[in-house]
Amino acid sequence: MIEIVSVSICEEDPAAIGMTIVLLLLAYVKHERVHAFFNHQ
């Protein structure tokens, strides 16, 4: 997964790189929120 992202970043333009980083951050934040929610229950 990480290797695929790295390869695509090398081939894409800066705007696509920024979008990829934002999407990865959003996915990470959602993942953390889900864990916090279930741990809080």
37 compared with 27, residue with greater pLDDT: 27
Q: How confident is the model at residue 3 (pLDDT cuts 50, 70, 90)?
A: low
Banded model confidence at residue 6, pLDDT cuts 50, 70, 90: low
Domain count, the chain: 1
Amino acid identity of 17?
A: I
- Rounded Cα distance between 19 and 33, Å, is 21
Full domain range(s) for residue 15: 2-40
Query: What does the block give as tokens for 6?
Result: 């790295």
For residue 30 the two structure tokens come to 């959602």
Eight-state DSSP code of residue 1? -
C-alpha span between 16 and 12 (Å, rounded): 6
Tell whether the model's pLDDT for residue 31 goes beyond 70.
yes
